[in-house]
Amino acid sequence: MQYIIPIAVLLFSVIVHEVAHGFVAYKCGDDTAKLMGRLTLNPLYHVDLIGTILLPLTLVLAGLPAFGWARPVPINVLKLKNPKKDIIYVSAAGVTANILLAIVSGIIMFIIRNYFANVETMEYIYVILQYMVVINVVLFVFNMIPLPPLDGSRIVYYLLPRELAQKYAKIERYGFWIIVLLLITGVLWDIIRPIVNFLVKLIS
């Protein structure tokens, strides 16, 4: 059970993250994700073997925070009503969904602590909410790192002048491997841990 809960919470959280991207894109004129059936919370449409299953399981077994990703929702920038502006909203949608999930979970934790502290069944729910806060904060902070192909880099790219943005985009071919290297060496967690701990304490 100690492994099932964090992995289940992570699965739900990364799916919400991707659906948020697709939903905002749809509202901005891009129906690609909707036509491909990706605007759903059904895990079968979002599972990535490495990011959703193997990596989270390995991290949990190693005693590290559950972390991973779902299969990216397809976005067609050309279909957006205002590509330059809308892509920033689309890129920010996933991390916004994660931090909102963390905040809502923190509020419910507060209510349980103050009004349902003696209700036995609430203990199980409280544990799930704790995982919701931690995992969604980790996803929020991680995805805001301005390293392609993470969401933070998409936002930075579209805010930069065109010439500088094109140079910045060239990093993407190495981005995935840089992230893997940072994960393996533990450097990534050392970088984001102070921010994660601060936000978890603030929200919890």
| pLDDT tens digits, one per residue of 174-192 | 888 888 788 778 788 888 9
Domain boundaries, the chain: 4-203
For residue 73, give Cα distances in angstroms to 6, 32, 40: 23, 9, 11
Question: Which tens digit of pLDDT belongs to each residue from 133-173?
Answer: 999 999 999 999 988 888 998 888 888 888 888 888 888 88
Residue 59: CB partners within 8 Å, gap ≥ 6?
Answer: 65, 66, 67, 68
Active site residues: 18
